Chains A and B, each alone.
Chain A
Amino acid sequence: MSRNEAEARVLNIVHAIEGLSQWVGKAFGWCILILTFAVSYEVFVRYVLNNPTVWAFDVMVQMYGALFLMSGAYALAQDGHVRGDVLYRLFPVRAQATIDFILYLLFFFPGMMALFWYGWEIAADSWRYKEVSWNSPARIQIYFFKTLIPVAGLLLMIQGVAELMRCWMAMRSGQWPERIDDVRETEDMLIDMDTSAVPRPAPPGH
C-alpha cells in the first residue's frame, strides 16, 4: 500500500467520523423548531386562553439542553468551537497540528472520558430514582435527559479521535486535510466568495 493510499484511507475514516458527528448534531438541531413552536404555543394559551400548560417550561429546558449538548461534536467536527487564535493563526500548519495533537491528548480526552464514565454513573443514579423535574406538577422525567451527558461525552471522544488523526496527517503533510462540506456562516461564505463577481447592487426601482 503506497503512502498516498494509506493517507486516503485515514482521511476516509476521519470523514466517516465527521459524518457521524454532523448527522447527530443536525438531528438534534431540529430541537430548535420544536422549541420555537412549543414556546410560542405556551404564550398563546397563556394569554389568549388564560390557561398555561404545566409542561412548557420543562420541554423548553430539555429541548435547549439536548440541542447544545448533542451538537458539541458537530461543532468540533466543523472547527466551530472558538479558539484564542491571536498567535495560533500565525503558526505554520505543522506547529498548529503538533500543538493540537498534544492538547487533544492532554486537555480534551480526560474531560470527555469523565463526562462519559462518570456521567454514566450519575445517569444511572437518576434512573434508579426515576428522577423528575422539580419545576412543575407535571413532573417531567429527567433521567433520559441526564443520560445525554455520557452519550455526548462518547460522541465527542469519537470526534476527538478524528481530530487526532487529522492532526497527525497535517504534521506529516504540512497542510490541513479538508473537512466535509457543511452549511456555513454568511460572513465565511462572503469572505471566501470572489466578490468581484458580485454584481454591484443598484437601488431598487432602477
Chain B
Amino acid sequence: MTDPQVAILMLCMFIVLVLLGFPIAFTLLAMGVGFGYYAYYTDVPHTFADLFSNNIFYLLNQNTYSVMENDTLVAIPLFLFMGYVVERANIVDRLFFSLYMAARNLPGALAVAALLTCAVFSTASGIVGAVVTLMGLLAYPAMANAGYQRSFAAGVICAGGTLGILIPPSIMLIVYAAIGNLSPLRLYAAAVFPGLLLAGLYIVYVIVRVLINPSLAPKPRDEDVPPKRQIYLDLLISFVPLTVLIALVLGSILGGLATPAEAAAMGALGGLVLAAFYRSLTWDKVKQSVFLTAKATAMVCWLFVGSWTFASVFSFLGGHDIIKDWVEHMQLEPWQFLVLAQLIIFLLGWPLEWSEILIIFVPIFLPMLDHFGVNPYFFAMLVALNLQTSFLTPPMAMSAYYLKGVLKKQIELIEIFRGLMPYLAIVIFCMVLMYQFPGIALWLPDFLFGVYVP
C-alpha cells in the first residue's frame, strides 16, 4: 500500500469510526496519532523505550500549541460569552412581542415577528439550540393560540433560529477563517448580504404563503393589541438595544475599528451592559455564562487539536494530493466541481453538524479551489448557506429536535419536518441565486477592503 492510499484508508476509517459515537475530538486525535505512528515509523524497535520514540508525539504537541496560539480562534470564547450573557438577559420575550405588535398589520404578523426575533436574537447569541428552545416556549404557544397551523409555526422557529450561524458576527465564520486561513473581516463582509437575503426570502415566503392561504395565520383580535405608545416603547427598549449591539460589533469590525476578536470582547462587554440595563445582571448569571463559555470553548477548540493533527498526518502521507489529483483528472468544469462539493456537504449535513463538517471535511476541498479558479470567499459563502441545511434536513435536523424537545406532546416531529421543507428549498434557491450573482457575496468585501487577490 502506498502512503497516499494509507491516507485514504485513514479518512474512510474515520468516517466509519466516528459513528461509534466516541467524542469526535479524541477520535480524530487517535486516528492522527495512530496513522502518524505509521507515517513516522522508521525502524523495528529494539527496546521497550524504542516503541515510544516516534515523532508523531511531538507533532501532536506542536499542533496543540498551534491551536493555543491561533489569534483567529481567540474570537470564539468571546463571542460565546457574549451569546450566553445576551441569552440570559431576559430580553427575548419583550423583543418578540414588541416586534409582533409592530408588524401586526402584515399578513402572518406573528410569524414575521418570530422570524425577525429569531434572526436578531440568534445573531447576537449565536447558539441555535438556545434560540429555538426559547422561541419554542414563547412564540410557538402564541402562534398556536392565535390559531396558526402547527407545522407552519414550527417551521418559522426552526428556520429562523438557524440564521444566527450565518448572519455576522457569527462563530461559524470565525471557525471557517481559521480552517481556510482566510480573513475573518472579509468573511464577515461577504456574509452580510447573503445573510440578509436569506432572512428576507424567509419573510417574503411567510407573507406570500399567508396571502395565498389566510387560514394558516389568522389576524390578532383587536382586544389583544396594546396601545400604540406601549408598542413603540417596547420596541425601543427591546429591539433597539440588541440591534445596536450587533450593529456596533459588526460595524467596528467592518469599519476598521477593531479586529473580530477585539469587537467580540467589546460585544461581550456590551452584553454585560445590556444585561445590567434589563436588570438581569446577577453574579449568578455571570458565573453561569463564564462556565458555559469554558465548556463550549473547550469543545470547539479540542476539535481543532484533533483535526489539525489528523490533517497534518493526512497531508504528510500525501492524502490531499491524491484527492486533488483525482478531482483534477475528472476534468470537471468549475461549476460541476462546485455542485459536486456542495452536494457532498449537503449530504454530510444529514448526520453531522456544522462544526464537524467545517473542521473535518471542508479542508479537503480547499486546496482544489485554486485549480478551478474559485474565489475562496465565494466558496465559503456557498458552504455557509449550505450549512443552514445541516440543521434542517431530516432525519437529523437538530433544530427540529430542539423544538420537539421543548414542545414535547404539543407537536409531532413529522409536523415539524413538514414545516421545515419550504425553508430547505429557500436555502437552495438562495445558493442558486448567489451562484448566478456572486456579487451578493463578493461586492461588499471588495468595496470595503480592496479587490481580493488570490
Contacts and interface: CB of A to CB of B under 8 A. Distances in A.
Q: Do chains A and B touch in the complex (CB under 8 A)?
A: yes
Interface of A: 25-26, 28-33, 35-40, 42-43, 47, 57, 60-61, 64-69, 71-72, 74-76, 78, 80-89, 91, 96, 99-100, 103, 106-108, 110-111, 114-115, 117-119, 121-122, 145-146, 148-149, 182-183, 185-188, 190-191, 195-196, 198, 200-201, 203-206
Interface residues of B, number: 95
Contacts of A122: 58, 61-62, 65
Interface in B279-297: 287-288, 290-297
28 contacts: A26-B294, A29-B290, A32-B290, A39-B262, A40-B265, A43-B265, A57-B71, A60-B71, A67-B297, A69-B68, A75-B302, A78-B295, A80-B298, A81-B24, A82-B24, A82-B356, A83-B23, A99-B21, A103-B22, A114-B33, A114-B56, A114-B60, A122-B62, A149-B64, A183-B288, A200-B145, A201-B93, A204-B97
Interface in B408-444: 408
The listed residue with most A CB atoms (<10 A of its CB), out of B23, B132, B133, B296, is B23
A148 B81 CA distance: 23
Contacts of A31: 77
Interface in B53-85: 56-58, 60-62, 64-65, 67-71, 73-74, 76-78, 81
A118 B60 contact: yes
B61 A28 contact: no
Nearest to B269: A40
B266 interface: yes
A187 B300 CA distance: 18
Interface string B397-411: 000001001111000
A103 B20 contact: yes
A83 B234 contact: no
Contacts of B352: 84
A3 B26 CA distance: 33
Given A83-B22, A110-B33, A60 B406 contact: no
A195 B353 CA distance: 27
Given A186-B133, A203-B100, A43 B61 contact: no
A36 B30 contact: no
Given A82-B299, A191-B402, A89 B133 contact: no
B396 interface: yes
B22 A86 contact: no
A32 to B, nearest CB: 5
A43 B33 contact: no
B333 interface: no
A21 to B, nearest CB: 11
Contacts of B257: 43, 47
B133 A149 contact: no
A118 B61 contact: yes
Interface of B: 18-27, 29-30, 33-34, 52, 56-58, 60-62, 64-65, 67-71, 73-74, 76-78, 81, 87-88, 93-94, 97-98, 100-101, 127, 129-130, 132-134, 136-138, 141-142, 145, 224, 226-227, 230, 234, 257-258, 261-262, 265-266, 268-269, 272, 287-288, 290-303, 351-353, 355-356, 396, 402, 405-408
B268 A36 contact: yes
A49 to B, nearest CB: 14
B76 to A, nearest CB: 8
A38 B264 CA distance: 12
Contacts of B21: 83-85, 87-89, 91, 96, 99-100
